[in-house]
């Protein structure tokens, strides 16, 4: 396979495999694999389906937004210009693979009594065998490649694309550096995919919800993901209190945490502090011993703002840990 990795090429190759993923191979992924009519267009017939028979896919993770704008566009042209992609269900209904926002817009128009939009143009994809799960996911991601996405859409899209390509890698269809392939497929950089990965792995659930609600952006989420669980939880409490958090705030907080940890490191290596701790004894006079440690920290951090008093509490706990090792 040569050139930039492309999900549409992979989708075409899956379609040519006739339901058997074992028929796939990397050499078959090219733009020449699409079944085309004589005029060069993809040979897909459109069927008009009652909106009530169209069911959203449980796999859709993209945000359902801008519905009013889509409604306005439909009413302006008098129709849906881009057909939905659907696949048949056993009960006679159809699962939507692409077009969830258009479907939601039609439902909204119908609720306003605009019955002329009831029958929705759809392209039907017959999915078979092992390719069903793979192709559903491919269509979902490829069809949404050009739309405007929320920050969380981008993070989730990267993770779902990774899972999909890892699955395909087992069959030898996808080869080489996976992060690079994901970046090419999503038209972004490998560095940005790495940032999405860090957010997905390390960002605490409270801040994930904030990202989903567009209360923080990708840059802030990435900075936060570099903090441990306890540090993130403390910042989240401040975020709830002040109602706002930006990149500079997170960077300053990280710097203060770094200084606190540096001070704790000095405690571990400072002979005078160790001698005081040893003299007091770690069992009988532990409160007094911790007081010496906190006093030391207070001198080191005398210019800290009051709202970072939680850092001192963290220092106290770590001082307790130190006592157990001396």
pLDDT tens per residue, range 269-324:
555 555 554 554 444 455 555 655 556 555 555 555 544 444 555 666 665 555 55
Q: At what angle do helices 178-185 and 190-202 cross, to 10 degrees?
A: 100
Of 142 and 3, the one with more pLDDT: 142
Are the CB atoms for 198 and 226 separated by under 8 Å?
Answer: yes
Local confidence band at 26 (pLDDT 50, 70, 90 cut-offs): very low
pLDDT computed for residue 247 by the predictor: 73
CATH dotted code for 44-148: 3.90.1530.10
pLDDT tens per residue, range 118-177:
999 999 988 877 678 888 888 999 888 888 899 999 999 999 999 988 888 877 777 788
- For residue 41, pLDDT over 80 is answered with no
CB neighbours of 188 closer than 8 A, spacing ≥ 6? none
Q: Where in the chain is the domain with CATH 3.90.1530.10?
A: 44-148
Lowest mean pLDDT among 38-42, 105-109, 133-137, 303-307: 38-42
- For residue 251, pLDDT over 70 is answered with yes
| Percent share of the chain, pLDDT over 70 | 66
- The Cα–Cα gap between 115 and 321 comes to 70
């Amino acid at each position: 396979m040569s050139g930039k990795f492309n999900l549409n090429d992979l989708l075409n190759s899956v379609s040519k495999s006739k339901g058997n993923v074992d028929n796939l191979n990397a050499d078959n992924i090219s733009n020449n694999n699409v079944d085309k009519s004589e005029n060069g267009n993809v040979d897909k017939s459109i069927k008009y389906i009652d909106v009530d028979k169209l069911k959203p896919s449980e796999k859709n993770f993209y945000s359902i937004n801008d519905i009013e704008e889509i409604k306005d566009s439909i009413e302006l042209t008098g129709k849906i210009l881009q057909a939905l992609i659907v696949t048949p269900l056993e009960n006679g209904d159809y699962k939507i693979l692409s077009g969830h926002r258009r479907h939601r817009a039609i439902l909204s128009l119908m609720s306003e009594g605009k019955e002329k939009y009831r029958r929705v143009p759809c392209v039907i994809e017959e999915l078979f065998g092992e390719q069903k799960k793979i192709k559903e996911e491919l269509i979902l991601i490829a069809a949404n490649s050009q739309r405007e996405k929320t920050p969380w859409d981008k993070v989730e899209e990267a993770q779902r694309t990774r899972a999909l390509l890892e699955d395909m890698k087992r069959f030898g269809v996808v080869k080489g550096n996976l992060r690079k392939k994901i970046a090419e497929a999503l038209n972004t950089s490998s560095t940005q995919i790495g940032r999405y990965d860090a957010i997905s792995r390390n960002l605490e659930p409270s801040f994930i919800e904030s990202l989903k609600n567009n209360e923080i952006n990708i840059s802030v989420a990435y900075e936060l993901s570099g903090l441990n669980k306890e540090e993130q939880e403390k910042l989240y409490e401040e975020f709830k209190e002040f109602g706002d958090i930006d990149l500079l705030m997170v960077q300053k907080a990280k710097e203060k945490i770094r200084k606190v940890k540096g001070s704790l490191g000095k405690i571990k290596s400072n002979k005078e502090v160790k001698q005081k701790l040893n003299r007091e004894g770690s069992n009988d006079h532990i409160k007094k011993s911790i007081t010496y440690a906190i006093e030391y920290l207070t001198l080191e951090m005398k210019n800290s703002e009051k709202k970072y008093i939680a850092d001192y509490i963290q220092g106290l706990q770590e001082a307790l840990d130190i006592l157990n090792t001396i």
